[in-house]
Structure 1
Amino acid sequence: MTVLILTSEQDVTADMAVVELNAGGIPVLRLDPAELPGGVGVSGEFAHGAFHGHLSVGGRVVSMGGLRSIWVRRPGTPASRASAASAWLTEEATQTLYGMLRCTDARWMNHPDAARQARHKPWQLWLARACGLPVPATLITTFPRVAREFTERYPDLVVKPVSGTHPGDNGLAVPTTRVRPGEDYRDVAHGPTLLQRRIRKTADIRLTCVGERMFAARAASGQDTDATDGIVDVRFSAGAGPWRPVAVPRRIADAVHGYLRRAGLAYGAFDFAEDTDGIWWFLECNQSGQFGFVEIETGQPIARAVAQWLAGEPLGPPLDPGEEGEWTLGGAEHG
């Protein structure tokens, strides 16, 4: 049976998992919904109480009934590259592709419904707190007066986008930035603004979860976290790092497991800020977050774990669950 990967053509993170799947002899079909119709073809028949669907890409045709799993990695918008692209055609292609795939028995990483909900930052913050994760005081508002009152209670704040980076943004990102002293917050009225108490962090934590497996990495904060430009985002910090494996505290592992279960996610990349007391403060969970940079720097076999989940069976010798930085639910406590 075949693993279907929905992602863009240039996706190094997906490439790493494909290498593992190929090495394990697992058939893989990789396509970008942006190429439907054109480079990607789809057909489905509903007759006599049965559904028979097929996908084609590069001259290769695969039965949807033969899909073992579907990895919704970083897919493009359906029909966005069509010769006669339009909002109508995108809606038609989206409903066709994802509607047919929902008719299969394949496992999802992650299911489109769960993935759509998981992108909502307000819901993430609520769920993280409900599951027992420490969450910094946060305000999302369009009222300047409310923002000013929040500042009086929490003078040291950062501002960040509510939506984060979407797969269709071509890698563009807005960095988390400290709020300047004396800010009057008039601009808050022009759009929802997320303000959050700044954590005086000693390190950034990336916790990558694949099924019940957890891989944690830590990057010590660089000297530029208090730079004059106000940027306190590890993605833009030249002095941060390098990433190193770190043990996962049991209370964090239990809370994250609850988060994934309630969110219906098979994969999640969690970002935490570690403070001077060693507390991991939840910042966000990216349901399709990158893991390649962590694996390259730490050597943690995340791509292999993803491949094994998608395959639904072992790929060669089993991974060692005891290495530092990895936590397997039901296993021994770390930290």
Structure 2
Amino acid sequence: MTVLILTSEEDVTADMVVVHLNASGVPVVRLDPADLTGGVSLSGEYVHGSFRGHLSAGGRLVSIGGLRSVWVRRPGTPAGRAAQPSAWLTEEASQALYGMLRGSDARWMNHPDAARRARHKPWQLRLAQRRGLPVPATLITTFPRAAREFAERYPDLVVKPVSGAHPQDPPRAVPTSRVAPDADFSAVAFGPTLLQRRIAKRADIRLTAVGDRLLAARKAASPDADADEVDVRFAAPGLPWQPVDVPPRTAEAVRAYLRDAELAYGAFDFVEDADGTWWFLECNQSGQFGFVEVETGQPIARTIAEWLALPATGEEGTAHLNGRNSAVS
């Protein structure tokens, strides 16, 4: 059975996983939904109570019924590179592709419905709280007065986007920034603003979860780091990422988070304070992992490949949900 990877051609991180799948002899097809109606074709037939579907990409034909897993990595907008792209064609292509795939028995990393829900940062924060992960005091508001009162209670704040990336082509990441002590919050009225108590960190933590496997890396804060550099993505080069053990309570809470979110993969960002507490910031359901593997040597790509290579739901008498096995009666 075949592993299907939905991602862009430029996604070199996916190549790391493909190498392991090829080495283990697992068939893999990689395609970008943006190439639908061009380099990618599909067909599905619903006749006499059964379904037969096929995808074609790069000269290869794969049966949808023969998929063991689907990795939704960094796919482009369906039919985005068609000869005559349009919002209507994108919707048609999306309905056709993901609708057919939803009807298969393949395992998902991650299922589109779960991934869409998991992108919402307010939802993430509440789920993290419910599962016992420490969350910094946070306010999301369009009320300037609420922002001013929050700043009075928590004088040291950062501001970050609610959604993550700025919607331009290509998307740009918006850095987390410190809020000035004399900040004017009147502009809050013009758009939802996320304010969060700044954690005086001694390290950043990236925890990559693949099924039940948790691989954490720690990047210690430089003693002479600028206090205004709160976003590790944009900070000056410093100490390297190092493998670190996950505290048992954090591991239990992260696994509960993944179960509730119905995610097979998640890239969790934490900051570690002076007491060693890991404070939850966010979980990216399709976060990058290549930079962590390169610096730490942690086998993240191999772990993903092993998860993708597991039998599909119902195959060989076993069901697999988020990397966990349960016997099928």
Q: TM-score, normalised by structure 1?
A: 0.91
Contact 1:199 1:273 in 2 (8 A): yes
1:163-242 alignment to 2 at 5 Å?
A: 163-165=163-165, 170=170, 172-222=172-222, 225-226=225-226, 230-242=228-240
* Deviation at residue 168 of structure 1 after TM alignment: 8.1
The question of whether the paired residues in 1 share the 8 Å contact of 2:166 and 2:174 is answered with no
User: Structure 2 CA distance, aligned partners of 1:275 and 1:39?
Assistant: 49
Q: What is the CA RMSD across the aligned residues, in angstroms?
A: 1.6
Give the Cα separation in 2 of the matches to 1:256 and 1:165.
24
Structure 2 residue aligned with 1:316: none
Compute the displacement of 1:120 (Å).
0.3
Contact 2:271 2:278 (C-alpha < 8 Å) held by counterparts: yes
Separation in 2, partners of 1:168, 1:53: 35
Once the 2 structures are TM-superposed, how far is the Cα of residue 195 of structure 1 from its aligned partner? Answer: 0.3
Aligned positions, number:
313
- 2:255 matched to which residue of 1? 257
Question: How far 1:83 sits from its partner (Å)?
Answer: 1.1
Q: Is the 8 A contact 2:34 2:79 kept in 1?
A: yes
**CA distance, structure 2, for counterparts of residue 176 and residue 110 of structure 1:** 26
* SS of the residue 1:218 aligns to: strand
Distance 1:151 1:171 in 2: 30
Could you say which residue in structure 1 is the equivalent of 2:90?
A: 90
Amino acid corresponding to residue 273 of structure 2 in structure 1? D
For 1:238, give the aligned amino acid. A
Equivalent-residue separation in structure 2 for 1:243 and 1:165 (angstroms) = 24
Measured in 1, the distance between the counterparts of 2:101 and 2:18 equals: 20
Assess, with a 3 A threshold, how the Cα gap between structure 1 residues 257 and 168 changes in structure 2: closer, same or farther: farther
> What are the within-5 Å matches in structure 2 for residues 1-335 of structure 1?
1-165=1-165, 170=170, 172-222=172-222, 225-226=225-226, 230-312=228-310
Residues 251-273 of structure 1: per-residue CA shift (max 9 Å, x gap): 00000000000000000000000
Equivalent-residue separation in structure 2 for 1:165 and 1:130 (angstroms): 26
> Structure 2 CA distance, aligned partners of 1:36 and 1:223?
50
1:73 is displaced (CA, Å) by 0.3
Task: Give the secondary-structure state (helix, strand or coil) at the position aligned to 2:172.
Answer: coil
Deviation of 1:12 after TM superposition, in Å, equals 1.6
Task: Determine if contact 2:205/2:216 at 8 Å carries over to the other structure.
Answer: yes
Instruction: Please state whether the residue corresponding to 1:105 is helix, strand or coil.
Output: coil
- TM-score normalised per structure 2: 0.92
**Offset from partner CA, 1:38-59 (integer Å, 9 cap, x none):** 1110100011000100000111
Distance 1:87 1:63, change over 3 A: same
CA distance in 2, matches of 1:11, 1:277: 38
Aligned letter for 2:286?
A: S
Q: Distance in 2 between matches of 1:58 and 1:110?
A: 24
Paired with 2:160 and 2:216, the residues of 1 have a C-alpha distance of: 24
Mapped to 2, the partners of 1:245 and 1:167 lie a distance apart of 34
**Shift of residue 169 of structure 1?**
5.7
Distance (Å, rounded) in 1 between the aligned partners of 2:136 and 2:108: 31
For the Cα contact (< 8 Å) 1:225–1:233, is it kept in 2?
no
Unaligned runs of 5+ in 1: 314-327, 330-335
8 Å contact from structure 1 (residues 221, 234) kept in 2: no
3-state SS of paired residue (1:235): coil
Give me the identity figure in percent.
73
Rounded to whole Å, the distance in 2 between the matches of 1:284 and 1:12 is: 24
Change in 2 beyond 3 A, CA 1:42/1:13 = same
Q: Distance in 2 between matches of 1:116 and 1:241?
A: 34
Tell me, which stretches of 5 or more residues in structure 2 are unaligned? 312-322, 325-329
